[in-house]
């Protein structure tokens, strides 16, 4: 068996087209344009790329983007003051602080400072708790939400399936497991979360109908750990040295693609799989924030 690719680029285009149409409808009906404020502290090259991509996607979809770039020596108090100002600005619907922040800033304080009604990353305990309790009408974690959309639009049925999530991070692993297990169209799976202390990992993954790899370890999942016909979602984005590449490195996922592709029925590539969906769902959350603000205005 050789897997079919789940094309995140194509599916994200469809999602973004739906978002753009909704944005145009809101502007025409209410005269309000959804707006996202993105704060970048410091000059981390990867963060600069991510912020630029978000800024560009906002422009493509008709969402107003306010990019705030701060020096690396910005104090925690200065950053929190900027967040407070954005919280109070009714024209801003979503606020995102690009991670990581410099060491002098407590990232958890930043998360708690953002108004839950503008927390489009879905990191605030209020929004995380709401999602964990099964309320999916508000913000959802962008990457796990993107994974569920990839599965749904690829015709993958999760109900009654065995799903394994590799990784237990607050950003991907934990919310991903909760969403797959939830009483929802994208859920009803029997979910196992694996991590660095899992014994006999292959014994677990070989029972999985669906595997979501989100460990941050290049090419971790091998073909002999995957059963025939499994659906593989690779969340990992890792740069590894490659002397044949123009910049001396290339992107790979947490899945050893070459060996796993021969066993899986469906698999996401890296790049071009989950990555485009994360930004697409961020735009969806910004749209949800705007709609919620219009109802409470």
Confidence of residue 1 (pLDDT cuts 50, 70, 90): low
Q: Which residues are catalytic?
A: 54, 98, 121
Cα torsion 97, 100, 106, 112: sign? positive
pLDDT beyond 90 at 69: yes
Peptide linkage before 271 cis (omega within 30 of 0): yes
Handedness of CA 256, 259, 261, 265 (dihedral sign): negative
CB 159 within 8 Å of CB 151: no
Separation of first and last alpha carbons in the chain: 55
Q: Could you tell me the domains of the chain?
A: 30-117 (3.40.50.10860), 142-275 (3.40.50.720)
Q: State the DSSP H helix or E strand holding residue 64, giving kind and residue range, or none if neither.
A: strand 64-70
127 membership: H or E segment, kind and range? helix 125-132
Q: Tell me the per-residue pLDDT of 105-156, one tens digit each, with 9 for 90 and over.
A: 999 999 999 999 999 999 999 999 999 999 999 999 999 999 999 999 999 9
The reported pLDDT for the residue numbered 111 is 97
Tell me the pLDDT tens digit for each residue of 226-273. Answer: 999 999 999 999 999 988 888 888 999 999 999 999 999 999 999 999
Closest CA to 268 of 172, 161, 147, 152: 147
Which residues, 6 or more positions from 296, have their beta carbon under 8 angstroms from its beta carbon?
none
């Amino acid at each position: 068996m050789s897997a079919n690719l789940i094309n995140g680029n194509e599916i994200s285009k469809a999602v973004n087209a739906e978002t753009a149409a909704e944005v145009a409808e809101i502007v025409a009906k209410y005269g309000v344009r959804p707006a996202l404020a993105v704060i970048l502290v410091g000059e981390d090259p990867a963060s600069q790329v991510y912020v630029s991509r978000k800024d560009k996607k906002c422009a493509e979809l008709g969402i107003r983007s306010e990019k705030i770039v701060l020096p690396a020596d910005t104090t925690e108090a200065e950053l929190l003051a900027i967040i407070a100002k954005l919280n109070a600005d009714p024209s801003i619907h979503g606020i995102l602080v690009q991670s990581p922040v410099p060491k002098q800033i407590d990232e958890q304080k930043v998360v708690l400072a953002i108004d839950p009604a503008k927390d489009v990353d879905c990191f605030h305990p209020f929004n995380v708790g709401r999602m964990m309790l099964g309320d999916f009408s508000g913000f959802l974690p962008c990457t796990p939400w993107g994974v569920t959309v990839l599965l749904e639009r690829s015709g993958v049925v999760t109900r009654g399936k065995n799903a394994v999530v590799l990784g237990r991070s607050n950003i991907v692993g934990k919310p991903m497991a909760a969403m797959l297990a939830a009483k929802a169209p994208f859920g009803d799976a029997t979910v196992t979360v694996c991590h660095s202390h899992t014994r006999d990992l292959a014994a677990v993954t070989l029972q999985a109908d669906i595997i979501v790899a989100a460990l941050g370890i290049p090419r971790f999942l091998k073909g002999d750990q995957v059963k025939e016909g499994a659906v593989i979602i690779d969340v990992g984005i890792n740069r590894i040295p490659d002397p044949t590449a123009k910049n001396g490195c290339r992107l790979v996922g947490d899945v050893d693609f070459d060996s796993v592709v021969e066993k899986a029925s469906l698999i996401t590539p890296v790049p071009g799989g989950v990555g485009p969906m994360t930004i697409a769902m961020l735009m969806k959350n910004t749209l949800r924030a705007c709609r919620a603000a219009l109802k409470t205005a």
